Every structure is written in structure tokens, then in C-alpha cells.
Structure 1
Amino acid sequence: MPRRLTPRDRCVVIGAGGLGHIGVQVLRAIAPAELIVVDRNPDAVELARSLGADHGVVADGGQVEAVLDLTGGHGAEVVIDFVGEGGSTAEGVRMLRRAGDYHVVGYGEDLVVPTIDVISSEIGFIGDLVGSYNDLCDLMALAARGAVTLHTAKYALDDFRSAVDDLAAGRIRGRAVLVP
């Protein structure tokens, strides 16, 4: 869980897909910060906006500059990266303000940051895998009151190839689930 976010803070969420769309809803329910969502897919950005994100930025090459513009050139207090690949880590670090926290959830590439940049900017890196039992209880409470809903596309087990193809092509908003 990110540090306590205040109404003066900004939080960037990179990736509004499977897990990211849940993260946006949780953040909206528990944090008063301004939420900025970045995703390559315009439909995922629109889904995030409909779920409570204050701003949506399509990752089209100008996403770092767009986030910096939205934050007055300072960057966000917290960046949560649900992608962790395809350049998102380098871009996410550039979206972070001085003394900010970068939460890595997604994985797939190396996080490469010169140590002098970490020290001189006083930024922190936090790896988040699944959360605690209490985090799960909190998520279930939010879901029970309708503050968090799962957007899913269901596929039969024998139609798994279509699920994989749809995920690869960016046609899934939310999560893809295989059912018997």
C-alpha cells in the first residue's frame, strides 16, 4: 500500500488493465489524492476514467511530458507501475517527484536507475507482490459495498487461444478468465 496520500498529492497508475483497473478503484475508495492513469490502450484509459481516475493519459510517446504537465512540472508523489516492462519503469521514474515513492507491481524488465539519481532525488522504490491478509480483507470489504468491481471477459477452457489472442491484441478491458 502506498504511503498515506493526501488531497494535495498526485498518484500515477501505470497500466489500467487486469490488475490496474482494480488498483484504480481501490485508490479512489481509500485515497484522496488526484489519480492520473497512463495506459497504451485508449479504451483502458477510458475505463479508468469511468472508474474514478481524475486524468487519463494515453501512452503514445508523450506520456511523461503529459504527466509532468498535469503535476506542474514536479511529478507525482507516488507512481504505481502495474506493467513493469516495455519501458514503463524508466518512464515511471521520470514521472516521480523529488522524495516520491515508486511502487513496482508488474514485472518483466530491469529497473535501471543510477544510484546518484536515487540519492540526490531522495526517491524510494517499493516492490509489491500480493499484499497482506488484512489487505485482502479490506479489498473484500470494498467489493462488498460496491466500491470495487471486477471487469472480466470469460472464456471457455477449450477457447483459451481466443483469450490469449484477445489479450495480446488489447481487446480485453479488465481481466480475462478461463471457466470450465
Structure 2
Amino acid sequence: MRAVRVHEYGGRPSVDEVDEPRIRGPLDVLVRVDAAGVCRTDLHIVEGQWADRSGVALPYVLGHENAGTVVEIGSAVTNVLVGDKVILHPLATCGLCRPCRAGDDVHCENSSFPGIDADGGMAGLLRTTARSCVRLADGLEPVEVAALADAGLTAYHAVRRAVPLLYPGAHAVLVGAGGLGHIGIQVFTALSPAELTVVDRSPEALRVAEELGAAHTVLADGSQVEAVTDITEGKGARVVLDFVGEDGTEKEGVTMTRDGGSYFVIGYGGALDVPTIDLISREISVVGNLVGSYNDLEELMHLAAMGRVRQRTRTYSLDAALDAFDDLDQGRLPGTRAVLEPNAG
């Protein structure tokens, strides 16, 4: 089969011929990958930002946002059948460690992360486990939801954690309305009664944010902090959700957070430098957010089936994978997710 692989950090991935994965254990599931999302994390992987954390041996197959059709199952699999359409939780977890037993499978002590520390889904087939498979409701297609497996799941996880901090009349700010953030806006409007302001440097992304229910939009032209201060009557936001996490949004996000509020970091790539006296005197919280749990993904699929969460996608063949990487890197996909179709055509 063909697959998109990284051979060296800082170099260009390539489309290679590789061996097909096989069922190895009783809980294994083999999935034909009908759709694989292209995520900014993939760009960071290629740049080498994940090299030390993942410890993966090169070359390996990218792709951690995957959905498709079950083609083979292990002898102990009971939750999916051959022919089922599924979205895959990005982690393959053990189910036996304390975090898994507590429902905190994101922090499984024995997990693998296809596309990060093992071969991923930018390929014809992917071997995963029964614990990772969420069956899609009738009417949902893999290409429509694949990018929700990580980007959407991460957005859901962050917003879901912020919801208890918000109430009618409270104010939240969402920074970055692109491929990740536009999903966060939809989740926010589905789950929270709070007022939402969206900040982005793209007028097109802000137009989409308005269509998705943002109460206010602010162009990031250098005056965004002042604009948010005015909108919040000088107080700042109860919650700031930063879907960028670099290029200065870190400092701006903390500044836009009101005293006693919470700054949620979802996007990454930058660094946070906050004087500890500010954390204490203002009593603000900084909250990191990784990908969500299996239950988060199942809940997100319910919202998707209800039409409450949708993503704009642009599809690419596997041969055009590098075009998808370039379009994402160059900002040519405002409010849109790139999705590869490894088995199309």
C-alpha cells in the first residue's frame, strides 16, 4: 500500500510503497482509511518539534486524525463489525491502568499514538484497537468527520472543561478561528450560554465565526487586546481559549483574561512567560489541554450527528498530500480542514 512518511526532520515527507499492517492481537481492528486529516501537529512533527517526545524511529507514517471502514477484526472484538464506518480515537489505550479505569484514557500509561509515536493513518490501511473505534451514526461519512478525531476532539475537550466556569452573562474569548478554532466555536455555542468573542487575523475566518454564532468578532491587527477590553467593559474574559498558542497570542491571552479567570492553552509552538506575582495577585489559572478522551469523542459524534458541529473540508488525494501540507502551512485554508482520501480513485 502507499503511505505518507517522514524520513528526516526538516525535510519533505514522501509517498512511499510500504507493507500492509496485519491483525496481531485479539483486540486489534484493521481499518481501511477513507479519510485522514492534515493537522498543524503534522507540520510540527515534520519540523522536528515532537522528535524528543515521541521517540519514534524514522521513517514512519503520519496521520493521527483517521476515519474509515472496518475490514478485519481480532477474535475478541465485539463492539464493531466488518463493514462498520468508524472514527478512531487517536490513542490506542490499554484499558487496564489506573488512568484508563478512571476514564482518563488520554493519560493511559501504556498507550501508543498512531501518527505520533507509531505508524499512522495517511495510508491505505491502519491497525488500531477495539478501544479506539467509535461507530458512526447513519448519515455520517468518514470524510466529514475524520479531522474531528484530533482537532475537533481537542477543541471539544477544552471547551467542555471550560463550560463549568461559564454562566449566562459571563464572557469568553476564543483566539484563532481556523481549522481548530472554528470547531471550538461550534462546540462552544452548542454547550455554553456565555457570550463569545472571537479574535483572528483573517477577515474570512471572522466572517465564518459570525455565521457560527460568535457574538463579537475582533480583527487581530495589533489593537485586539484593547478591543476585547472595551467589549468586556474593562474586565477581561472569564475564560480565554487560545487555539493559536504562538506568535504573541500567549501574552495577549493572559492580558485578556480577567482577574480570577482562566487562560486555556490549546494551540502551541510558543512559550508562556508570566510573572508569578501576576498569577498570585490576579489569581488566574493557566490550563493546558491535550486531546480529549474516548467519551469526549463519542459525545462529539453525537453533536456531529445532530448537525451541531460541522467542519469545512478540502479533500486531497494521497498523491497531493504535500499540496495539503503546503496549503495548511501557508494559511490557504482559513476555517477549513485539509483531509486526505488515501483510497479514493
TM-score (norm 2): 0.51
State the percentage of identical aligned residues: 58
Answer whether contact 2:163 2:192 (CA < 8 A) is retained: no
58, 79, 89: which one pairs with 2:219?
Answer: 58
Q: Which runs of 5+ in 1 are unaligned?
A: none
Residue of structure 2 equivalent to 1:140: 301
Residue 179 of structure 1 aligns with an amino acid whose one-letter code is: E
| Matches of 2:251 and 2:318, distance apart in 1 | 37
Kindly report the root-mean-square deviation, in angstroms, between the aligned alpha carbons of the 2 structures.
1.2
Aligned length: 180
237, 241, 252: which one pairs with 1:76?
Answer: 237
Residue of structure 2 equivalent to 1:108: 269
| Matches of 1:45 and 1:69, distance apart in 2 | 18
| Matches of 1:22 and 1:3, distance apart in 2 | 15
Answer whether contact 1:41 1:170 (CA < 8 A) is retained: no
329, 334, 337: which one pairs with 1:168?
Answer: 329
Answer whether contact 1:89 1:111 (CA < 8 A) is retained: yes
| Per-residue deviation, residues 105-142 of structure 1 (Å, max 9, x unmatched) | 11101111000000000000111111222222221111
1:48 Cα shift? 1.1
1:167 Cα shift? 2.0
1:3 Cα shift? 4.4
| Matches of 2:286 and 2:199, distance apart in 1 | 19
* Higher gyration radius (CA): 2
| Matches of 1:143 and 1:56, distance apart in 2 | 24
1:175 Cα shift? 1.0
Residue of structure 1 equivalent to 2:191: 30
| Matches of 1:170 and 1:77, distance apart in 2 | 29
SS in 2 for 1:130: coil
Answer whether contact 2:163 2:191 (CA < 8 A) is retained: no
Q: Which runs of 5+ in 2 are unaligned?
A: 1-160
| Matches of 1:115 and 1:63, distance apart in 2 | 24
| Matches of 2:281 and 2:168, distance apart in 1 | 26
Residue 264 of structure 2 is aligned to residue 92 of structure 1: no
| Per-residue deviation, residues 60-80 of structure 1 (Å, max 9, x unmatched) | 111111111110011000001
| Per-residue deviation, residues 19-47 of structure 1 (Å, max 9, x unmatched) | 11111000000000001111111111111
Answer whether contact 1:49 1:56 (CA < 8 A) is retained: yes
| Matches of 2:292 and 2:263, distance apart in 1 | 16
